[in-house]
Structure 1
Amino acid sequence: MGRNEIRLRRQKMSSGRIAQHRNYGEIMARHERDIKIRRTVRVFLYFLIIAFLLVLFIMVKRWEQKQGKVKEKTAWVLKSNGSTFTSAKTH
């Protein structure tokens, strides 16, 4: 058998193939529902990922601001050769 004959034989309608396509409308409706559900889940997951990254970004920014304030409060240094406190900042 040639390649074309095999392909035609595979596509030949039989009682089994006809039974598969009897409820074609129902199968297509289910397929459309599945596509909508997948799309909704994908959008929801992207939203969750973006929200998580945004919250993480805000947490890091606040932590950095808090660290900056702590460093600012402890910027006074005691000189080893004198008994007076001096500021590390230049005024």
Structure 2
Amino acid sequence: MTTEHYILNLNPQAESSWDRCVLRNPLTGERSNLEAAIAKAVGDRAGSYLINVNIDVRVLQSGEPSLTVKNTVELPKLGNIKQKNNRLLAS
């Protein structure tokens, strides 16, 4: 039996569905490859297998979600910009 550690990031507001629930290796930051771990467990031998996978999850540490804020800034149209004393002024 092998023990693996991952960082789980849950973000229901993520724009992409694949970013809403992500398992990453805590050392490399790479996404988990559970299929490779299971293949290793059966010895990487070719064939089809009916397998039983037990998942025992223990939260070792948790953190608050990071907030992403989107700001909208309206810029003046280029046709309304004048230069005075080496400064750009919007009218």
Q: TM-score range by the shorter chain?
A: under 0.3
| TM-score (structure 2 length as normaliser) | 0.21
The TM-score with structure 1 as length reference comes to 0.21
Q: Which has the higher strand share?
A: 2
More helix as a share of residues = 1
Q: Which has the larger radius of gyration?
A: 1
